[in-house]
Structure 1
Amino acid sequence: MKRAAALALLVVAAPAVADTPLPPAALADTQLPDPHQEAEARALMETLRCVVCQGQSIAQSDADMAGQMRAMVRQRIAAGEKPREIRKWLIDRYGDYVSYDPPWSAVTAPLWLMPLALLIIGAWIARASFKRRKRGQG
């Protein structure tokens, strides 16, 4: 019973532990001086998932980790790195989960194929249902 209570406390307290007492990373909330570079950085940040919040992009999240990721994206964009290179580096570091648009691989194939499979199954069920109704009326 004590273990379950401790586990529940850890799960509830996890968001509070995610923030650190450190000051925000430079460029976390500061736009780049070049509007084109800032637009590239913002577009990339919208496609990257916060690894702490999980339901928000790093552009939307207030978590310290998201701030550090925003700062890193801006620093690398300002240094001339391309968004696709930054995305690849983040995926290599955090895994496919960090991207809202994961690359095609054997691991992510079910994510891409499941909606298609569900659509086909739904159409098959609807067709069978309509056939039964038609026979019942005729």
Structure 2
Amino acid sequence: MSAGIATLRRTGAACAVAAMLALAVPAGAVQPDEVLPDPALEERARDISAGLRCLVCRNESIDESNAQLARDLRLLVRERLVAGDTDAEVVEFVVDRYGEYVLLRPTMTGSNIALWLAPAVLMVLGAGLSLVYIRRRAAAPAPSEAALSAEEQARLSDLLKE
């Protein structure tokens, strides 16, 4: 009876740990002193911050990053919103200051078009070259065995005897 209870306790503990891990959501790096008192402005700030890249952490948004530069950018976003800027104006301000690299989802304009289209162009080019190679190889005549002359046959026989 006590072995069954011990098993149930272990199973219950394992389930509790699994539930805690499943419910654990990565906490954002936003500090309590950064949060705006107006919930609508704070929601806009979070939406904007989720689309801006931390320049230190590379592929983390500034909302998730603990880097000092990310904190500075979060504060800058909130300052611009409090000053009355629209979401687009805030993003434009940050991009003008730090470049388009700061966007987690870069725009498909200007020089970025080449970066967006390059994979497709290279895939089509590679498929085309492969097709040309396969067709040329199939159309090429099969190599034929040339018969040896009498002199070559005699020399080969001499070499094989030695």
TM-score (norm 2): 0.54
C-alpha change, 1:121 and 1:36, in structure 2 (3 Å) is farther
- Deviation, 1:120, is 4.1
One-letter amino acid of the structure 1 residue matched with residue 121 of structure 2: A
One-letter amino acid of the structure 1 residue matched with residue 48 of structure 2: L
Corresponding residue number in structure 2 for 1:36: 40
Corresponding residue number in structure 2 for 1:95: 99
Among candidates 45, 48, 61, match of residue 49 of structure 2: 45
Corresponding residue number in structure 2 for 1:67: 71
- Deviation, 1:86, is 1.2
Identity %: 39
Aligned positions, number: 103
How many Å separate the matches in 2 of 1:124 and 1:46?
40
Where in structure 1 do 4 or more consecutive aligned residues deviate above 3 Å?
118-126
Structure 2: segments with no counterpart, 5+ residues: 1-29, 136-162
Corresponding residue number in structure 1 for 2:120: 116
Corresponding residue number in structure 2 for 1:21: none
- Deviation, 1:121, is 5.4
CA deviation vs aligned residue, 1:69-122 (integer Å, no higher than 9, x gap): 0011011112211111111111111111011222311x2122221343355457
Higher relative contact order (CA 8 A, sep 6+): 1
TM-score (norm 1): 0.62
Provide the alpha-carbon RMSD of the alignment: 2.5
Corresponding residue number in structure 1 for 2:156: none
Among candidates 82, 87, 102, match of residue 83 of structure 1: 87
C-alpha change, 1:44 and 1:124, in structure 2 (3 Å) is farther
Partner SS state of residue 38, structure 1 = helix
CA deviation vs aligned residue, 1:16-61 (integer Å, no higher than 9, x gap): xxxxxxxxxxxx6222112211111111101111111112111111
Corresponding residue number in structure 2 for 1:18: none
